[in-house]
Structure 1
């Protein structure tokens, strides 16, 4: 059985490109909004956004801005998973990065990850997992 290129990229990832955390929300209809910014100029990205095995977005190209993923009461005790592949196409650096944020919960949340790839054209896989908890 051969490994697909996407599976190989995820198999080659390190702890630097995987992140797990909790995000506190209240039990209200307030929207929870996600932003995702891949690297700098010269990096292309594709992302999938999943809430408890339900795709909210698939093969989203580039940055994701003001993406409402649900409300506090609809997300409590659920998992958000974001899978992003960033391909370095810049000629001046081999550094890839991902800047992730959430708003609408108890406090704004932001996390940034970086990974250097071997050479121009290589890809890095990033995975973010967030568990939504009730703040009370």
Structure 2
């Protein structure tokens, strides 16, 4: 696991709060291949907490030049597909399992994934773009 310090967790929580007021075009974030460090968001006692980044990043690859759809995976763990559903939101669904979620970009380097329009699921940070960014 990659550890996030308390400063990073505070910044992440502030970004979650800002996510409802910020618009970032999802298409611009997912052209080509991108890697994202991802942490779980929990709500253990009525307030959200962001865990450490998982050691395996999520890999997104667009399937067309406009980045309206593509594949997403955590290498050797699961695979899935994604498609744009709004200007800053994509829908993701595992093809190797039964999980599905929505993902909204806060800014060009961060996203929040959520389920059922209310349940915060994951917090992501851009690790890199293209083949040279592979972990």
Provide the TM-score with structure 1 as the length reference: 0.31
Q: Specify which structure has the bigger relative contact order, considering alpha-carbon pairs within 8 angstroms and separated by 6 or more residues.
A: 1
Higher helix share: 2
Point out the structure with max Rg over C-alpha: 1
Higher strand share: 1
